[in-house]
Structure 1
């Protein structure tokens, strides 16, 4: 039990915060929907429940993925977060489908009603504000490695979108879902205003369908990213960065092979280096320790570095490998 609590402390903070906030928002929207029966509110309610469940799974998965390797699982649990996310997107997919179906049903049975207008507006406005705080938290996690002056004030917004591809899986999911959450709340607000003050009474139905489609797009993006992560995807940028650093070592003549595999939030590095064949085992071991230390100091989340040595064949292999990997 003590180990479980320690692991939970290592889980994604943005996912935990998002799960708490979205649970509160979902309960508020549920109360509003039961009072008003508004279909746009129904779409937002389903969306928030989906986000809350998803992000709770993500938090638990990101924490368990930090568990140390065991005899039964010597490679560790890094890919567990990807597997959890693959399961989580199924929940969002089902809720997206229900949201679209409810929107279609409302379009065919649209009626005018200005009852509970200000209640709907107030709930959705508060929801948008709360979900915006979660989105900002995810932006902070995405850009935490950048210089402070680059993310000062509103600069954090474009920088977070620019670097979201490099974010941790859990943070990326929270970021994508809360983009839809904030956008969906604003869209639902506009739809309620339009359906109340214009003859276009089916606006909330169309808003529900659009929100459902946006959720499906998130499902597709997250599924593709985490299916690759579960299989063990190569991190090409890190391969180039680590290769350049290793190749600069004075006793490394060439890099015969280099793989950087992303497993959840962690990186697994495998290297085959060409060195002087006259080198002693002690010298090779010193080089290995030195390279491993430099890699772990310069690159975050590297869990292990596997280095093999081969004699120098006099052929420059690294330039060819680098061009292929790039």
Structure 2
């Protein structure tokens, strides 16, 4: 129990915050839907429920992935977060299907909902809360890239660097981006339905929100399927390669692999050195390089192999 609590403290904070916020929002939206019968509100309730469940799964998965390697699992549990996310997207997929189905049902059999002020107020508060969580995820993406930006520039930089974000942070970002956009879309549909006779607007909004959720499902599934298999990170390979080549005793790099497992990186590198160096000197070089590489954020282990310098330069990056 003590180890579990220790691991949970290391879980992704953005996912935990997003899960709590979306759970509260889902309860409020659900109660509003029961009172008003608004289909757009039903879509948003399903959306928030799916997001909350997803993000709690992500928080737990990101925490358990920090578990120390064991004799049975010597490579650690980094890919566990990817496996959890693959399971979590199934929940959002089911919610998406129900949302789209309810939207089609309302278009075919439109009904007038009540509680205009209540619907708009709840959706407006939900949009503000979800936008706050989205902004926090944006800041985390930028922070992980070790760059300092302020104001509106955080928005642009977070989109630009989303590909390199941690799996859990990326999921929170995408889900709350869709949640914020879906909330605005639902508000527009409620306004149209209230001030015109076009009550099908709520059904159309429900379908569009469901399709947006399906987009998140597809994107998250593809990203985490690659992570679960073990995806090479070319950007980190270039960074580590440049760092190693700056060492005066390194003549060349024959090969380098940086495998991303969850939020962790595993580095395997083969370098060329002078054949006249002693084993003791080579061991000092190995220790020095390992220490430098392990200072890079996210790298958990390094495997260095040596070969004699063949006089040809292979590393040209």
What TM-score comes out, normalization by structure 2 length? 0.98
Q: Distance in 2 between matches of 1:227 and 1:157?
A: 27
Structure 1, 51-60 or 274-283: larger mean CA deviation? 274-283
How far residue 146 of structure 1 moved from its aligned partner, in angstroms, is 5.4
Instruction: Tell me the residue number matched to 1:270.
Output: 268
Q: Distance in 1 between matches of 2:59 and 2:112?
A: 42
1:287 aligns with 2:288: no
1:159-205, Cα deviation, whole Å (9 max, x unpaired): 11111111100000000000011111110000000011123210000
Provide the aligned C-alpha RMSD in A.
1.1
Instruction: Tell me the residue number matched to 1:52.
Output: 52
Go from structure 1 to structure 2 and tell me whether the alpha carbon gap of 1:221 and 1:27 turns closer, same or farther (over 3 Å shift). same
Go from structure 1 to structure 2 and tell me whether the alpha carbon gap of 1:77 and 1:180 turns closer, same or farther (over 3 Å shift). same
How far residue 27 of structure 1 moved from its aligned partner, in angstroms, is 0.3
How far residue 235 of structure 1 moved from its aligned partner, in angstroms, is 0.5
Instruction: Tell me the residue number matched to 1:313.
Output: 310
Instruction: Tell me the residue number matched to 2:204.
Output: 206
Q: Distance in 2 between matches of 1:234 and 1:25?
A: 38
1:41-91, Cα deviation, whole Å (9 max, x unpaired): 000000000000000000000000000100110000000000000000010
Unaligned runs of 5+ in 2: none
Q: Distance in 1 between matches of 2:301 and 2:310?
A: 27
Instruction: Give 1:173-192 correspondences, 5 Å limit.
Output: 173-192=171-190
Instruction: Tell me the residue number matched to 1:11.
Output: 11
How far residue 151 of structure 1 moved from its aligned partner, in angstroms, is 2.1
Instruction: Tell me the residue number matched to 1:133.
Output: 132
Instruction: Tell me the residue number matched to 1:32.
Output: 32
Q: Distance in 1 between matches of 2:146 and 2:44?
A: 36
Unaligned runs of 5+ in 1: none
Structure 1, 307-316 or 36-45: larger mean CA deviation? 307-316
Instruction: Tell me the residue number matched to 2:300.
Output: 303
- Determine helix, strand or coil for the equivalent of 2:152: helix
Contact 2:144–2:165 (8 Å) recurs in 1: no
1:233 aligns with 2:193: no
Q: Distance in 2 between matches of 1:45 and 1:32?
A: 9
Number of residues of Structure 1 aligned to a counterpart in Structure 2: 317
Instruction: Tell me the residue number matched to 1:155.
Output: 153
Contact 2:227–2:260 (8 Å) recurs in 1: yes
- Determine helix, strand or coil for the equivalent of 1:261: strand
How far residue 112 of structure 1 moved from its aligned partner, in angstroms, is 3.4
Q: Distance in 2 between matches of 1:184 and 1:140?
A: 22
Q: Distance in 1 between matches of 2:158 and 2:272?
A: 39
1:212-256, Cα deviation, whole Å (9 max, x unpaired): 000000011101100000011010011111101111211111101
Contact 2:134–2:173 (8 Å) recurs in 1: yes
